[in-house]
Amino acid sequence: MSGDEVLAALICMAGGFTGGIVGVGGGVLFVPALTIFIGLTQVEGESTSLLMIVVVALIGAFRQSSYGNVNVRNAVIIGALSPLGVLIGVAIANHVSERLLQLSFAALALFIAYRLIRRALAVPA
């Protein structure tokens, strides 16, 4: 195993750890790890991450369910609607440039970071 592969594995473990703590990690850490350190294209990284997230999500949801933290109604509604979005997103991802995908991913990460920081710094009402 090369140094980059070890680093990617550590980042992916961190993605699982982060997913367990704050409910995010898969796409946020898996995609960059796969593209930067393993050398996958953006589409390959996103596609591989989708499969990886299934495993992480199932284990995380099962564990959180034992604590009574899973809102099954919301999960079913969102889970039922998400496949339509994935089908559309996959079709688009395979017809736009690699550069556009990279910039879109980066812009989304920055937007989410901005919103999370803003929410965390807001004065409680």
Residue 25's pLDDT band (cuts 50, 70, 90): low
Residue 9 vs residues 1, 27, 34, 37, 84: alpha-carbon distances, Å: 10, 14, 9, 9, 30
What distance in Å separates the CA atoms of residue 44 and residue 54, rounded to the nearest whole number? Answer: 16
- Return the DSSP state at 37: I
Domain locations in the chain as residue ranges: 3-121
Side chain identity, residue 29:
L
Query: pLDDT for 71-95, tens place per residue?
Result: 999 989 988 988 899 899 999 999 9
**What three-state secondary structure class fits 26?**
helix
Query: pLDDT for 29-65, tens place per residue?
Result: 888 888 888 889 999 998 988 888 888 888 888 888 9
